[in-house]
Amino acid sequence: MAPDADKLRLRKSVLSSGQPGIDDHGREETIDRLVTLKSLRGNEVCIDGVIYDITSFDHPGGETIRVFGGNDATIQYKMIHPYHTAKHLEKMKVVGRVPDYVSEYKWDTDFEREMKKEVFKIVHRGKEFGTTGYFVRATVYIFVFLVLQFQWMQQTSFPLAIVYGISMAFIGLNVQHDANHGAASKRVWINDLLGLGADWIGGSKYLWMEKHWTHHTYTNHRDLDPDGLAAEPFLLFNDYDLLSPKRAPYHAFQAFYFVLVLAGYWISSVVDFPMIYNLQDRGTLEVGIRLDNDWIQSKRKYGFGLRLLYLFCNVVVPLYNNFSLVTLAQINVMGISGSLTLGLLFTLSHNFDGADRDPTKPVRETGEPVCWFKSQVETSSTYGGFVAGCLTGGLNFQIEHHLFPRMSSAWYPYIAPTVRRVCEKHGVKYTFFPYVWQNMYSTFKYTHEVGNGSHWKNNPFKGET
C-alpha cells in the first residue's frame, strides 16, 4: 500500500465514540479513533488497516521497528516476518483503524504459500540467520578493511585507493547488508554492531534502513521505489512514455554516461551534511514515507558523529599527512572505486532487459491487487552461483533475497534451485544469468533503450508520437 494516501485514494477522517468493542480476534479493545494514514502519530504503525501503538512494544528484532513509526508498515511487517500470522499482532496495542484501507498488493496466494512451504523445508524456522561460513566471510572482509584503513591513514597511494575503495564496497555487500536486514544473527546486538558497517564506509545505518527497506517494500514501483527514482533527472530507470515530462534529449545518451553518474555517488553522499544531520533520506521522503518520528530524531547525533569520524579517518588524516592535489585525487579515486563496485552491482539487480519496471500497472488498469511475491521475482534477477555469492554477499541471488530479505545470504545458493522450480510451476518469470557480465550487458542495453524510448517506438499497442 502506498504511504502517500493522496496519490492513490481519498480517505475520510472520522472521530469515533471511543467505546470498547471486540476486534477480529475476539479481544476487547478501545478504538480511539478512525483516521487517515497521514494522521498516524510517530509512535504508531498501520498494518492491514489496524493502527498499533509501538511505544512500549518490546520487539524481539530490536528497535528497528521504530524506523517505520508514523507509516503504513503492512508490507514491511509481512516480508520481514514470513512465519507470522495475525495472532502475532496481538502482542501490540490496538489504538485505531483506517476505515477504507486498500492495498495494491495481495498476500497468501497459492504461489506464496508453496514458495514458503518448499523453501522452509530447506531452511527451518530459527535457522535462517548467518551460518559459520557467513561469519568467516564477514570476518575476513572486516580484517582486510581494517588493515587497509590503517595503511590509508599512514600513507596514501593510487593503488591503495583502488583496493581500499573496493574493500569498503565489500563491507557494504558482505557485512552491513545482512546485519541491517536483521539476517546476520538472531542476537540484536550483533546485527546492530555489524550494521554500523554502513557508517564505516561513508554511509549511514539509519539512512540505509529508511531507503533500502522502502525499496524492498515497493520494488520497481513507478512512484514509490526510491531506488528507481534516485538518479533522476540524470538517469531514467523507469520506462516513461514518450510524452512524459521527465524525458529529456540527453537521456538518449544515458548508457554512455551511466558509469560517470554512479562514480559520483560517494562524493554526493559523503558531503550531504543536511541529510545526515536530519537523518531523513531525501529519496524516501519524496515517495511519501514519513521520517519525522522521535526515534529517528534521537539517532541524529550518532549518525552525524559517525560521519565526522569517517571523514576524519579517510579525508582529514591523509590530507594532514600530505596536503596536496595528489592526495586529494587519491581520496577521490578511493571513493570512485567503492561507488562503482557498489553501484554497478546494485543497479543490475532490477534494471535489465525484460525486468518488470511497473509491477502495479494491473492495479491501475483493473483495480485488482497484485501478488507481492510474484512482483518481487519478476522485478529482480539472479546471476552466477556460490562463488559470486561469496564476493557479493549473496546479492547475486537477488530474487531469493527479495523473497526472503530476513534470511542470511549464506542460504541463498541452497534455496535458489527450489525457488526457480516453484516459479516455473506457477508461470512466474525467473530471470537468471549464468555470468555477471551477461546481467551487466542486459542492464546497459535496458538503460540505453529506456533513454531513447525505443520500447515505445514502432509499437501499435503503445502509440507513437
pLDDT per position as a tens digit, 88-123:
788 888 888 988 888 999 999 999 999 999 999 999
Single-letter code of the amino acid located at 136: V
Cell of 185: 544473527
pLDDT score of 433 more than 60: yes
According to the model, what pLDDT value does residue 33 have?
66
pLDDT of 312 above 80: yes
Q: What percent of the chain has pLDDT over 90?
A: 74
Mean pLDDT of the chain: 88
Packing angle of the helix pair 254-263, 325-347 (nearest 10 deg) = 120
- 62 or 396: whose pLDDT is higher? 396
Does an H or E element contain 190, and which?
helix 188-195
CB distance 96 to 34 below 8 Å: yes
Question: Is residue 2 scored above 90 in pLDDT?
Answer: no
Mean pLDDT on 345-373: 93
Residue 25 has pLDDT above 70, yes or no: no
pTM for this one?
0.88
Handedness of CA 239, 240, 241, 243 (dihedral sign): negative
Number of H helices, E strands in the chain: 24, 11
Q: Report phi then psi at 241, rounded to 5.
A: -65, 165
Q: What is the pLDDT of residue 57?
A: 83
Mean pLDDT of 325-354: 94
User: How much is the pLDDT for 318?
Assistant: 97
DSSP 313: I
Q: What is the DSSP letter of 176?
A: I
Q: What phi and psi values does residue 74 have, to the nearest 5 degrees?
A: -60, -55
- Of the given ranges (7-16, 139-148, 223-232), which has the lowest mean pLDDT? 7-16
Closest by CA position to 380, among listed 350, 425, 424: 350
Give the pLDDT of residue 133: 93
174, 138 in Cβ contact below 8 A?
yes
Tens digit of each residue's pLDDT (9 = 90 or more) over 151-183: 999 999 999 999 999 999 999 999 999 999 999
Average pLDDT (242-261) is 93
- pLDDT, position 74: 92
The mean pLDDT value for 361-384 works out to 95
Averaged pLDDT, 399-416: 96
